[in-house]
Structure 1
């Protein structure tokens, strides 16, 4: 199943960002530390061009710290990028962000020149919560569902930094189907735009490979099932997700699993590594090339038919 979610307000937000980007000194992109690649909007790179960028791996308190370190090193190697792992509830981490902004914008570090920053990120990565933490007051509306922010706003901080907040935007087509699933697992896509059981099957299969002990401990399982569907059924059985006749309610079991992953109930979990992404990008490029060839053949066949 291909998971896509790109409502109209996201297209409008993209056009607005494109218009104001020339006046921006620095971009702050908020990522989900559990899925740094999948939560990284490829449009941000094309929109910001050479503008320096701070990539904040938010929700680091929910992510596997060893893998987070790998991602920090991977992102720091990119041109014009500085990466930092944070948790918005830890103000000692949040307070380091303005200092980093000044380091990356030395040409604006003067009393009479505010550093013009644009804060960007896909839905539900904690962008609004971060803005409120930086401002020290409630400015941006927050929520537990994606796409709460619908319009841009400018926020002047007391430390010589002006933030332009933008709505959380995805991109029109998520080519890597793994990224689509990971976005759904972490809650970046509206639940109404996905199939719970399909996404839960993806999540449980990954957990069985990467964190089997977490599943065993959380759901008190001593004899681990060998198949994802069996594991999901066992979770449903352990959580009382039953229908008449003792049948497992897979939808309810799926809700339990996804909500507990999102809430950190299965421990510190990261759903992707830099090595995994390198392999997946090769496959995506192969699929893109195959599609290009098919499209060319289809176009040529259409031309031949018209000439007859």
Structure 2
């Protein structure tokens, strides 16, 4: 199942973001540290590069991500021109307080007191943009919820006489090109549940966890996973946790939600679903498939 999710209000949100980009100095792009590239909206990159705006990439929820993998992502992003990257948890005020100084370093021309440093917080739904806004302002001004697409309109606030913040609605992009990204986004709760089938998402999540975090699975559920695939893992969770439907069969939907919620909450452990290396392998495989499809479509005479 290819996962797509682009609610109607996101079209107007993109248009408004493009207009506002003209008058901001730094883009703060909030990513999910567990899936940094899968949670990176290509439209945001296009908008800021068009206006030549520097970017602070905030790898939020770093307390839930694999710290070794997060370090690899920071090195990856910090080699990109016009980009700084930082890993933090926006729920920790001390972490969030680092953000303004990092933005200032990306726009040193706004450190002369003549004009305020204008920062725009952007990202996909449910990565913590509003949580970051509230932490920076030290008061609750943005609605926060554990569901994607809570913020629907831009909001501007003065952080100080010399700094201004603009919070934007979470924006997806019209077509998720890679199926694996769709599943990682759904597993990490960045896509509305009405667009996904929880059991399918849990099976795909299980495949990744089995490949890289099998000891954590065995500890969490008290099972041996050495011969399992994703489907078998969901079934084992159902049996272990007593998830049954009327008649005695396994309630796989309930078990899927248990696995998904345990990943999202960090109950399984600190998990990262992609690394810079696995991302490159996935992109290379995708490029080969595209080339093979193009070759098959060419007339034999070419």
TM-score between the two structures when normalised by the length of structure 1 = 0.92
Cα pair distance change 1:210/1:8, threshold 3 Å: same
Structure 2 gaps, min length 5: none
Question: Which piece of structure 1 moves more, 224-233 or 59-68?
Answer: 224-233
Q: Does 1:78 align with 2:66?
A: no
Shift of 1:190: 0.6
Shift of 1:103: 1.1
Work out the CA distance in 2 between the residues paired with 1:295 and 1:152: 45
User: What's the counterpart of residue 147 of structure 2?
Assistant: 145
SS in 2 for 1:206: helix
User: What's the counterpart of residue 199 of structure 2?
Assistant: 197
SS in 1 for 2:172: coil
Judge conservation of contact 1:216–1:224 (CA < 8 Å) in 2: no
SS in 2 for 1:60: coil
User: What's the counterpart of residue 283 of structure 1?
Assistant: 285
Cα pair distance change 1:287/1:225, threshold 3 Å: closer
Q: Does 1:215 align with 2:242?
A: no
Cα pair distance change 1:224/1:52, threshold 3 Å: same
Work out the CA distance in 2 between the residues paired with 1:17 and 1:294: 40
Work out the CA distance in 1 between the residues paired with 2:171 and 2:35: 16
Q: How many residues get paired?
A: 297
Shift of 1:18: 1.1
Shift of 1:153: 1.2
Shift of 1:93: 1.7
Work out the CA distance in 2 between the residues paired with 1:256 and 1:119: 32
User: What's the counterpart of residue 154 of structure 1?
Assistant: 156
Shift of 1:48: 0.3
Cα pair distance change 1:148/1:295, threshold 3 Å: farther
Judge conservation of contact 2:186–2:196 (CA < 8 Å) in 1: yes
Between Structure 1 and Structure 2, the one with more helix by share is: 1
SS in 1 for 2:149: coil
User: What's the counterpart of residue 25 of structure 2?
Assistant: 25
Shift of 1:205: 1.1
Structure 1 gaps, min length 5: 298-308
